Structure 1
């Protein structure tokens, strides 16, 4: 197929009311050879502008890692009082039970002893390695913890690993390192099953946290990417969190995820991203999110001003290093799905394809569904099949009550 000239596509406003699904993968032929369908309807959408010591599984509170503290309510609110605003408050997408914030009223351990000085990188690294439900006690005011090492999940310590910043904690990679890492197939973090790529644990949740200035440049394990967070295996979700100014390598045909990179999830279950915001991310591909063979459900979130800065697409054109696709989201693989609901994706930019979303299902079984969302001003400087979207999957994507322009 042959791609529509950009001048014609970028000017096109799309409003669609039927639904469909999406899946990942990268084109194996030159993606510029695809021809998009003609879209000539208009849409309505939301208006919101919006190291690591070994520890036993579910270990009790330990000296040096803080002590458990009960909150005033056994059921935490979606966003703690005084939390920094995140996501799209006008999104309106229903949040399934499994995608909601974890109850952290009875933490396993607490980072800090009530002062900003007690909330250190070392305390975070140790707490994450020990696992369990982790909260922070850094005093009454917002605090930024300058990470001097990457916090790494130990695969035997869980099965739940929850980091809850209470809306007041920022973890900074200082532009020097990745912030958080989980890999069930990394022997250095311990192998716990014979099928590391499809085990149900650890189950990692980050909620009510801010991740800034993470940088995975040069970290090429498992293909690299994941400037703030890298995940392979188990389960992973993000709730009420903000990612800003994260980075990963600037070139590479299939490397990506300035904020988050995910490979493998148990039983091909989706990664949930809920009420969260991604801004200012930059990577070869996927200025915010990137994955291979992983499904996503992105609900009531905002992805704004992220960029895919690689050159040469995937597979890389002769004489180029590759990359440049998925200004906000980059999905590749065989069968997977992406659902975007109640979400604003705007002002993102791709040197090659998919200023907002790059979606390639190699075996054409993947599905993409966009509901009650706004995708606008997401230029694709090389190719696209819809405004801001490059899609190769099962049939056409589904768009419902959304603005795509």
Structure 2
């Protein structure tokens, strides 16, 4: 199912798009009515709030990104160590298409058995060439300091798999985004006449750590995606860690300190399996919105994972309240758009924080078709600075119906 919010925004060759967004700007304390915009600059139309949602009165939005390209606070980086990711006690069944890719017969290998042979240039070259990519950096954990962003070439693949074997950290050094894929970026090559809805490339990252990525100031496609930015094709994450990643501090709709996704083929979901975002104090991500994950019109399935100590640090919500730069929603997860779904199972979401709404999760379906299910998961200690949906601690939700939470604990 194609996301209708994204179909309208795609214009080939345009670097920056204005994406539809909806969200609270000045919530009050009692359930009432919300207004939601459909296109930037268009009048907001009143829509009914679900029962138990606090009143919001959105102001006119100021576009994506907003002012303020100053970097988020940068914690100290500990020494690299072997990978341990996800919630081992999650118990959610992982479908075949969401599992790790077999990399026993790689297309190419980065490194020749020593840490010194595993360089940023080698990663950039391998990712551009595509295929199944593994690392041979020696027996000990290694951190590769990226001096440039690795970019997927759309004609190469169709599968692009990056497997760190549990021992490799890719570091943006607090200066740059680490990995980028965009089927609608002419610089990476057009491969179809419908870049916003094509089934390739199919990017998988597994058994890797992404550390200290930073997309601050990069407003292409609206910004966000401190460690990884994806638009189009298919994308999944397996057994990986994301620590200390950042994107712009302000902006009503940009987000995803770790990952930002704007579209997926036929609205198939992004799978996040057995992975950790933050995981300890000082290790979480920070961005205007979505301290870990952020998307527009994209469906997600998050299984047996941990999202903790992430922050949405913007101010003014979305659309931005008058006199504010906007942002501050979705401490861990920020989802916006029209037709999309979110399923979370066997996952722990704790100790995240949002300055505005949704200390754990911010979910707004503009046309109220979106749904969210949280199965056998724990959400706790996720403060929402100004608003959340009553009865769902840490969550702000506007969709087809209230979230389903079988077997889950929210506090």
SS for the counterpart of 1:207 is: strand
* Structure-to-structure mapping, 1:366-385, within 5 angstroms: 366-385=370-389
Q: Is the 8 A contact 1:114 1:139 kept in 2?
A: yes
Correspondence 1:181 to 2:187: no
Q: Over aligned residues, Cα RMSD in angstroms?
A: 1.6
Alpha-carbon spacing, 1:277–1:34, altered in 2? closer, same or farther (3 Å): farther
Q: Is the 8 A contact 1:25 1:293 kept in 2?
A: no
What is the aligned partner in structure 2 of residue 160 from structure 1?
159
**390, 400, 408: which one aligns with 1:402:** 408
- Cα distance in 2 between the residues matched to 1:112 and 1:248: 30
Normalised by the size of structure 1, how large is the TM-score? 0.82
What is the aligned partner in structure 2 of residue 347 from structure 1?
351
The ranges of structure 1 where at least 4 consecutive aligned residues each deviate by more than 6 angstroms after the TM superposition are none
Correspondence 1:26 to 2:22: yes
Q: Compute the displacement of 1:321 (Å).
A: 0.1
Normalised by the size of structure 2, how large is the TM-score? 0.81
Alpha-carbon spacing, 1:403–1:28, altered in 2? closer, same or farther (3 Å): closer
SS for the counterpart of 1:401 is: coil
Gaps of 5+ in 1: 1-23, 40-81
What is the aligned partner in structure 1 of residue 37 from structure 2?
none
Alpha-carbon spacing, 1:34–1:297, altered in 2? closer, same or farther (3 Å): farther
What is the aligned partner in structure 2 of residue 285 from structure 1?
289
SS for the counterpart of 1:398 is: coil
**330, 333, 337: which one aligns with 2:337:** 333
- Cα distance in 2 between the residues matched to 1:32 and 1:165: 47
Q: Compute the displacement of 1:26 (Å).
A: 2.2
SS for the counterpart of 1:122 is: helix
Q: Is the 8 A contact 2:152 2:188 kept in 1?
A: yes
Alpha-carbon spacing, 1:32–1:290, altered in 2? closer, same or farther (3 Å): farther
- Cα distance in 2 between the residues matched to 1:245 and 1:31: 30
Gaps of 5+ in 2: 1-19, 32-49, 54-80, 279-283
Alpha-carbon spacing, 1:367–1:153, altered in 2? closer, same or farther (3 Å): same
- Cα distance in 1 between the residues matched to 2:276 and 2:163: 16
* Structure-to-structure mapping, 1:82-161, within 5 angstroms: 84-161=83-160
Q: Is the 8 A contact 2:124 2:151 kept in 1?
A: yes
- Cα distance in 2 between the residues matched to 1:105 and 1:360: 41
After superposition, the C-alpha distances for 1:237-257 in whole angstroms (9 at most, x for unaligned) are: 000000000000000000000
SS for the counterpart of 1:400 is: coil
Q: Is the 8 A contact 1:25 1:359 kept in 2?
A: no
* Structure-to-structure mapping, 1:61-80, within 5 angstroms: none
- Structure scoring higher RCO (CA < 8 A, sep ≥ 6) equals 1
Q: Is the 8 A contact 2:25 2:316 kept in 1?
A: no
What is the aligned partner in structure 2 of residue 236 from structure 1?
235
- Cα distance in 1 between the residues matched to 2:162 and 2:293: 19
Q: Is the 8 A contact 1:287 1:326 kept in 2?
A: yes
- Cα distance in 1 between the residues matched to 2:316 and 2:277: 25
- Cα distance in 2 between the residues matched to 1:339 and 1:360: 14
What is the aligned partner in structure 1 of residue 41 from structure 2?
none
Q: Is the 8 A contact 2:25 2:320 kept in 1?
A: no
